[in-house]
Amino acid sequence: MLQRIQTIFLLLACSAMLIACATTLGSFTYDGDRMVVEAVGVYLNGELHHFTWGLMGLGVISAILSFVSIFFFRKRKLQIRLSMFSIGFMVAFYLYFCYLLYKLTTTGNLQFVRMGAGMVMPAIAILFVVLAIRRISADEALVRSLDRLR
């Protein structure tokens, strides 16, 4: 299980999503005040302004799916399916973040200051999961080719 490269890719995707949930997603100025967006909430001048538990939930669910799919190494089709669901939750993470920014821009003047490390991590996790899916598919093709020889 741990000697397979797709296991390493899935572990890296899991850790990237956990990093995305733990670090800052972005810094903005909101009507002249400093605003920091994290997976847990939106902080305005250091005080919690708005909870974003949905964003945290999407990140944690995608990390759990990536981790759980490691243990289905004997059921490669299920492993691929779980990995695809994980990618779906990672894309939903980005979509929900965009929705939060849209909601904040309609209520006030929001200006971008800098992007945090947590904003890049879901894209890196998607890349790792895609690489893992390719390797799992290659294993499945190898097993099928060996079945034909018997």
> Cα(119)–Cα(102) distance, rounded to whole angstroms?
16
CA distance 34 to 57: 25
pLDDT in tens, 100-116: 888 888 877 888 888 88
Long-range contacts, 77-86 (Cβ 8 Å, 24+): 77/140, 79/136, 80/133, 80/136, 80/137, 80/140, 83/10, 83/129, 83/132, 83/133, 83/136, 84/133, 86/13, 86/62, 86/129
pTM over 0.75: yes
Q: What pLDDT is stored for residue 80 in this prediction?
A: 93
**61-98 pLDDT tens trace:** 999 999 999 998 888 899 999 999 999 999 999 999 99
